[in-house]
């Protein structure tokens, strides 16, 4: 099968019935329960993967700690050189790994490749960073003294990643964590274990070649138990979690309870505002990509569309037409723009959202169906396909659940506004604060949008959609999105421990603030 082909190109043998080891701590293993990886497009079983027993989990955590204790002494630029080799190895397998992302997660091939590219990009960034993780020298008020701010490796970083970006989000964390001199232990989503096994194999080979302990980039596939072990372990200095607000709340509290560091990337509920002066022919494809792309399964997907009254009907009409041209099908088939949802649960969430809109008097403008058998070839009938949907809820009131909750599916809710201030108020009136986008050519609108009374999200775009960020800036959201920052910008500063070091080069020991303690 094509799955066998893709997997064997990624060094994952798949003889029938064979369980693939899902735990790596320098050696592959895992003798706990097994998990199944299923293709969301066809329902076929891709492979069975092993997880760790509680004892193996603790062993993996300890091995990560040991690996950190060794790795932290390697000079940062040399760590950067290892990251560069990982970058090369990943780029070599971009197509194969991209195809595996499509097979296991369900996003289209171009986006699967894009995810690997994002990992490659952040490696490039981390290679440069490895020579630029600078502290500072601060003037002291005391003669013959200097104050240094020094970054050192932090320890072990636990990465709990989500199904929707089974490669890139780990990449954001691993690249920075390695440059910073940490060991990283990955607990991927239970439904995308193969992507994590494939990535870990690529990384492990590079580590081995450089004589670095494999547990510098460890892996524990599994479900709740594995997640809880990572979250609860005092040997793990920082937990970087991507997922739902509900689970993020539990993770955040648990890590805080042991005074660990936590980095949360939780729900998004991202709005696009289109002003009357916007270039609609640019806004249109952009809104289409952000709302339908990845079948609405990015945390940055557009969920809310606010249209100025004067362009609302024209824009909506054009958007409806565009929705109807989106080709649904197998994510690996050329020309497909819409793959399936990831699993049956997501279809349930989609149905519930449609039901809630209808029962509260809202209108479904396009889509709303989950029975796609007419539109799809028989081999995709077991897939989790749904129709991308545009809805007009009865009221724009953000006190309604329809507007307040993140539905991780292609459902776009539309409302009409008269004044930009009103639209900004709606933009900000939800619990989440990840991404936002304003379409205008008027510099006064842009000033308002970017300023203190503007969007309160972590990503505030102008004439660019809500999804599809590059790695250069720090990525993350405010409010219930969790305030975490990953990827570029200053995000690396969280992956080190900072010390303020006052050094006395003089022959006196004066006290700060002129305090006199003479006897």
Give the residue numbers annotated as catalytic, written as ranges.
265
- Distance between CA atoms of residues 342 and 491, nearest Å: 29
Q: Nearest-CA neighbor of 167 among 134, 192, 130, 185?
A: 192
Could you give the string, one character per residue 49-68, with x where binding to ligand UN1 holds by CB under 6 A and - elsewhere? --------------------
- Distance between CA atoms of residues 150 and 493, nearest Å: 11
Q: Which is nearer to ligand UN1, 26 or 468 (CB)?
A: 468
* Residue 296 binds ligand UN1, judged by CB under 6 A: no
Contact 57, 400 (CB under 8 A): no
Largest CA distance in the chain: 92
The β-bridge partners of 187 are 160
Q: Which is nearer to ligand UN1, 398 or 481 (CB)?
A: 481
CA 432 to each of CA 268, 409, 453: distance values in angstroms, whole numbers, following the listed order? 6, 16, 17
Using the contact rule CB under 6 A, the part of the chain among 193-201, 208-216, 293-301, 322-330 near ligand UN1 is 293-301
Q: Nearest-CA neighbor of 510 among 139, 138, 145, 137?
A: 145
CB of 247 to ligand UN1, least distance (A): 14
CB of 455 to ligand UN1, least distance (A): 16
Q: Is 237 helix (H, G, I), strand (E, B) or coil?
A: coil
* Residue 164 binds ligand UN1, judged by CB under 6 A: yes
- Distance between CA atoms of residues 468 and 284, nearest Å: 15
Q: Which is nearer to ligand UN1, 99 or 105 (CB)?
A: 105
- Distance between CA atoms of residues 513 and 386, nearest Å: 67
Contact 320, 292 (CB under 8 A): no
Per DSSP bridges, beta strands 270-274 and 28-29 are unpaired
Residue with tokens 């049956």: 344
Q: Which is nearer to ligand UN1, 130 or 481 (CB)?
A: 481
CB of 300 to ligand UN1, least distance (A): 4
* Residue 300 binds ligand UN1, judged by CB under 6 A: yes
Q: Which of 299, 328, 409, 496 binds ligand UN1 (CB under 6 A)?
A: 299
* Residue 242 binds ligand UN1, judged by CB under 6 A: yes
* Residue 455 binds ligand UN1, judged by CB under 6 A: no
Burial (CB < 10 A; 0-12, 13-18, 19+), residue 145, is middle
Per DSSP bridges, beta strands 136-139 and 145-153 are antiparallel
Q: Which is nearer to ligand UN1, 432 or 467 (CB)?
A: 467
Q: Which is nearer to ligand UN1, 216 or 295 (CB)?
A: 295
- Distance between CA atoms of residues 159 and 247, nearest Å: 14
Q: Nearest-CA neighbor of 268 among 196, 384, 165?
A: 165
Residue with tokens 């981390």: 126
CB of 299 to ligand UN1, least distance (A): 4
* Residue 387 binds ligand UN1, judged by CB under 6 A: no
Using the contact rule CB under 6 A, the part of the chain among 6-14, 119-127, 402-410, 462-470 near ligand UN1 is 462-470
- Distance between CA atoms of residues 297 and 192, nearest Å: 14
- CA torsion, ordered 143, 145, 149, 151, to nearest 10 deg: 170
Q: What residues from 472 to 501 belong to the interface with ligand UN1 (CB under 6 A)? A: none
Q: Which of 169, 175, 212, 264 binds ligand UN1 (CB under 6 A)?
A: 169
Q: What residues from 100 to 119 belong to the interface with ligand UN1 (CB under 6 A)? A: 118
Q: Which is nearer to ligand UN1, 56 or 265 (CB)?
A: 265
Q: Which is nearer to ligand UN1, 119 or 385 (CB)?
A: 119
CB of 490 to ligand UN1, least distance (A): 18
CB of 345 to ligand UN1, least distance (A): 18
* Residue 469 binds ligand UN1, judged by CB under 6 A: yes
Contact 502, 478 (CB under 8 A): no
* Residue 207 binds ligand UN1, judged by CB under 6 A: no
Q: Which of 467, 480, 481, 494 binds ligand UN1 (CB under 6 A)?
A: 467
Using the contact rule CB under 6 A, the part of the chain among 9-17, 161-169, 334-342, 488-496 near ligand UN1 is 161-169
* Residue 80 binds ligand UN1, judged by CB under 6 A: no
* Residue 432 binds ligand UN1, judged by CB under 6 A: no
Q: Where on the chain is the footprint of ligand UN1 (CB under 6 A)? A: 118, 164-165, 169, 242, 298-300, 467-469
């Amino acid at each position: 099968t094509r799955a066998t082909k893709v997997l064997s190109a990624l060094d994952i043998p798949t003889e029938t019935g064979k369980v693939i080891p899902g735990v790596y701590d320098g050696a592959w293993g895992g003798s706990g329960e097994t998990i199944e990886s299923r293709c969301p497009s066809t329902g076929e079983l891709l492979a069975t993967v092993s997880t760790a027993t509680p004892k193996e989990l603790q062993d993996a955590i300890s091995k990560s700690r040991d690996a950190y204790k060794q790795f932290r002494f390697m000079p940062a630029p040399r760590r950067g050189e290892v990251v560069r080799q990982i970058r090369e190895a990943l780029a070599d397998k971009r197509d194969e790994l991209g195809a595996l992302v499509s097979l296991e997660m369900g996003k289209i091939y171009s986006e699967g490749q894009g995810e690997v590219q994002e990992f490659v990009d952040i490696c490039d960034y981390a290679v440069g960073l490895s020579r630029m993780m600078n502290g500072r020298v601060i003037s002291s008020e005391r003669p013959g003294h200097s104050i240094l701010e020094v970054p050192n490796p932090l320890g072990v970083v636990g990465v709990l990643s989500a199904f929707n970006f089974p490669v890139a989000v780990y990449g954001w964390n691993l690249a920075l964590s390695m440059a910073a001199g940490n060991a990283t232990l990955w607990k991927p989503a239970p439904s995308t274990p193969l992507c994590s096994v494939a990535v870990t194999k690529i990384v492990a080979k590079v580590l081995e070649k450089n004589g670095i302990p494999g547990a510098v980039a460890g892996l524990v596939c599994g479900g709740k138990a594995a997640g809880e072990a990572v979250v609860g372990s005092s040997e793990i200095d920082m937990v970087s979690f991507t997922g739902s607000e509900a689970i993020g709340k539990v993770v955040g509290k648990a890590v805080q309870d042991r005074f660990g560091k936590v980095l949360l990337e939780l729900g998004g509920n991202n709005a696009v505002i289109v002003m009357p002066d916007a270039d609609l022919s640019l806004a249109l494809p952009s809104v289409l990509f952000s709302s339908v792309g990845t079948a609405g399964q990015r945390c940055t997907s557009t969920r809310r569309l606010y249209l100025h009254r004067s362009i609302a009907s024209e824009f909506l009409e054009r958007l409806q037409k565009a929705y109807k041209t989106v080709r649904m099908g197998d994510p690996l088939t050329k020309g497909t723009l819409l793959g399936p949802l990831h699993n049956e649960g997501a279809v349930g969430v989609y149905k519930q959202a449609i039901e809630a809109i209808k029962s509260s008097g809202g209108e479904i403008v396009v889509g709303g169906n989950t029975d796609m058998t007419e539109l799809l070839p028989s081999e995709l009938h077991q897939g989790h396909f749904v129709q991308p949907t545009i809805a007009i809820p009865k009221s724009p009131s953000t006190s309604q659940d329809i507007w307040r909750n993140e539905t991780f599916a292609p459902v776009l809710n539309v409302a009409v506004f008269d004044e930009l201030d009103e639209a900004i108020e709606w933009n900000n009136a939800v619990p989440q604060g990840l991404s936002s986008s304003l379409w205008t050519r008027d510099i006064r609108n842009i000033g308002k949008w970017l300023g203190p009374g503007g969007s309160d999200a972590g990503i505030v775009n102008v004439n660019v959609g809500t999804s599809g960020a590059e790695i250069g800036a720090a990525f993350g959201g405010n409010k219930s999105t969790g305030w975490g920052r990953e990827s570029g910008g200053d995000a690396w500063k969280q992956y080190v421990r900072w010390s303020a070091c006052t050094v006395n080069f003089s022959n006196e020991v004066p006290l700060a603030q002129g305090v006199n303690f003479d006897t």
